[in-house]
Amino acid sequence: MIRAALVVLLLSPGGVSPKLSCSHQDVLDHLNLTMSNEVFRLTRPVLDHTRPTEIELKLVLFSILAMIEKTQTFVPFLWAHMTWTNERIHWDPAQFCGISHITVPREMLWMPDLFIYEMTEKDSSPRNPFVVAYHNGTVMSEEDMRVVSSCRMCMHKFPFDTQSCSLTVGSAIHTVDEMILRSSFDSTRITEFTKEVLWSQGEWEFKHLAVGNRNFSYGGREWDTLVYTFTMKRRPLLHVLNLLVPIMFFLILDLASFFVADHRGEKLGFKVTVLLAISVLLLILNDILPSTSNHTPLIATYCIVIFGLMLLSVLETILVTFLLDMSQKKRPTHKRRNSTT
Ligand SMILES: *[C@@H]1O[C@H](CO)[C@@H](O)[C@H](O)[C@H]1NC(C)=O
Ligand SMILES: *[C@@H]1O[C@H](CO)[C@@H](O)[C@H](O)[C@H]1NC(C)=O
Ligand SMILES: *[C@@H]1O[C@H](CO)[C@@H](O)[C@H](O)[C@H]1NC(C)=O
């Protein structure tokens, strides 16, 4: 018996003590991190309350889901990566078979109360239920989110426009002396990274992503915020083919009707039909453009000018028809008078 025990002791590698713990549960036991332990959840995880919690944020644009001009809405699909330090978490990986991180449910730990100022709709997609805690106290959270945000768009150059939409990330209640935000990438690096991972841009071509800190103060209190500004350029081809070119064609058609021989108002009917066709295109345009544009979009001016030209041409046709009718009414009486004399 004693000999067998000795052999086991000698065979254990490096003579490490046999009570070496190798499961994640052992780490949780060591930290006393349980669902019911409120110490980890209730307060900001710093041992000295004057120390602010520094949150490192990485926001990556995966896809531009929609840009709705009418309601001035920008809908990106984002991936958010956040890390901060929980000073209550610490263990030595050497004591736990080299376990350097554990995955725990989100509800077990304190989470920063970050939100996006421009967001107009709550994100209803399911959240990632876990966070990762590292042995040195770093906690990492990753999330996908579909953000419905408001964005002021300038439609002056539509459809050759470039739009900039901002997302401001900040804490709801923690002021600048309690929570500070850092971006892990600078603007150049984050632009490059976004261009690499962006998989769907649709109508919009992603140009640039700028990130910067801005202090937001209200009622004597100050919050640290991180502002992400997305710059996108519209691909105008669809609108050119759908709106600008057809409107031009209708104008040409209208001008070409000058060569149509007039048989009792047929020309007038043709012109009015073309005018109606243009009104349909204008209705489509009206669906796209917001009614609260501070600058009149150039395309509206373009349409009004073309519409005005066609209106003039219809009026001209009416006048010519009228004058022809007048002279025709006069002429037969002349003829009759001639034939009687
Ligand atoms: C672990 O936390 C519980 C409260 O959830 C507490 O009652 C208990 O004393 C703690 N144990 C240790 C060893 O700190
Ligand atoms: C903690 O460890 C992780 C992973 O090893 C590392 O990425 C992080 O920078 C460390 N944090 C600190 C504050 O040293
Ligand atoms: C925000 O305010 C804090 C504290 O007042 C200051 O340290 C920091 O430099 C300010 N940041 C900016 C971007 O103004």
Per DSSP, 95 falls in state G
Q: Identify which has the larger pLDDT, 18 or 163.
A: 163
Distance from C-alpha of 46 to C-alpha of 223, rounded to nearest angstrom:
19
**pLDDT for the residue 261:** 75
Residue 277 located in a structural domain: yes
Q: What is the pLDDT at residue 47?
A: 93
CB distance 136 to ligand 2 below 6 Å: yes
C-alpha dihedral over 312, 313, 319, 324, to 10 degrees?
Answer: 170
The helix or strand, by DSSP H or E, that contains position 59, with its residue range, turns out to be strand 53-68
- The answer to whether residue 98 is domain-embedded is yes
Number of the ligand 1 atom closest to the C-alpha atom of 38: 5
Predicted pLDDT at 62: 92
Predicted confidence (pLDDT) at residue 119 exceeds the cutoff of 60: yes
- Does a structural domain hold residue 110? yes
How far is CA 216 from each of CA 44, 71, 83, 164, 213, rounded to the nearest angstrom? Answer: 21, 26, 22, 20, 10
Q: Are residues 155 and 267 in the same domain?
A: no
Query: Strands, DSSP E only, in 152-246?
Result: 162-171, 179-183, 204-218, 221-234
**249 and 308 share a domain?**
yes
* Both structure tokens of 12: 């254990």
- For residue 75, what is the enclosing H or E element? strand 73-85
Give the total number of structural domains in the chain.
2
Q: Does residue 7 surpass a pLDDT of 80?
A: no
Same domain, 86 and 220: yes
Domain holding 97, by residue range, is 38-235
Same domain? For 318 and 231 the reply is no
Distance 138 CA to ligand 2 centre (A): 6
CA distances from 231 to 12, 170, 207, 340 (A): 61, 21, 5, 84
CA of 107 to the centre of ligand 1 (A): 18
Res 70 pLDDT > 80? yes
Q: 26 C-alpha vs ligand 2 centroid, how far in Å?
A: 21
Q: Which residue from 28, 31, 37, 89 has its CB within 8 A of the most atoms of ligand 1, so it is best to mutate?
A: 37
Residues 269 and 134 in one domain: no
Could you tell me if 283 and 205 lie in one domain?
A: no
Kindly report the protein residue whose alpha carbon is nearest to atom 5 of ligand 3.
176
Closest CA to 221 of 171, 264, 258: 171
Residue of 215, 218, 222 to mutate, ligand 3, most atoms within 8 A of C-beta: 215
Residue 328 lies in a domain: yes
First to last CA, the chain: 154
Ligand 2, atom 6, residue with closest C-alpha: 138
Q: Using alpha carbons only, give the angle 195, 167, 291 rounded to the nearest 5 degrees.
A: 105
Tell me, using a 6 A CB cutoff, whether residue 12 lines ligand 2: no
**Region 157-170 average pLDDT:** 93
**Gap between the Cα atoms of 290 and 288, Å rounded:** 7
Cα separation of 83 and 56, whole Å? 5
Token digits of residue 86: 């929980």
For residue 19, what are its two tokens?
């009570």
Residue located via tokens 């043709």: 270
Q: Which of 31, 32, 88, 89 to mutate to test the pocket of ligand 1 (most atoms within 8 A of CB)?
A: 32
- The ligand with the least distance to the CA atom of 139 is 2
Q: Enumerate the H helices of 128-265 as residue ranges.
A: 187-197, 237-239, 245-256
Tally DSSP H helices, then E strands, for the chain: 8, 12
Amino acid at 106: R
Q: Whose CA is nearest to atom 10 of ligand 1?
A: 32
**What is the pLDDT averaged over residues 267-293?**
85
| Pairing label, strands 130-134, 101-105 | antiparallel
- The more confidently predicted of residues 125 and 155 is 155
Question: Which domain CATH number covers 296?
Answer: 1.20.58
CATH number at residue 155: 2.70.170.10
Neighbours of 60 (CB within 10 A): 19
| Whether residue 274 has its Cβ less than 6 Å from ligand 3 | no
pLDDT digits (tens, 9 = 90+) for 253-272: 888 888 877 666 788 888 88
- Stretch 5-24: mean pLDDT: 53
Minimal CA–CA distance to 115: which of 143, 138, 140? 143
Q: Which ligand is nearest to the CA of 217?
A: 3
Ligand 1 centroid, distance to 53 Cα (angstroms): 25
Whether residue 176 is found in the same domain as residue 266: no
Q: Find out whether the beta carbon of 188 lies less than 6 Å from any atom of ligand 3.
A: no
Residue 142 has pLDDT above 60, yes or no: yes
Pair (63, 166) in one structural domain = yes
- 278 has a pLDDT exceeding 70: yes
Q: Average model confidence (pLDDT) for the chain?
A: 86
Q: For position 332, what pLDDT does the model report?
A: 62
Is position 153 within any domain?
A: yes
Q: Whose CA is nearest to atom 10 of ligand 3?
A: 215
286 and 335 inside one domain: yes
* Domain contains 198: yes
- Within this chain, do residues 193 and 164 fall inside the same structural domain, yes or no? yes
Per-residue confidence at 292, pLDDT binned at 50, 70, 90?
A: low
Q: What percent of the chain has pLDDT over 70?
A: 89
The pairing of strands 179-183 and 53-68 is parallel
Rounded distance between C-alpha atoms, residue 185 and residue 196, angstroms? 14
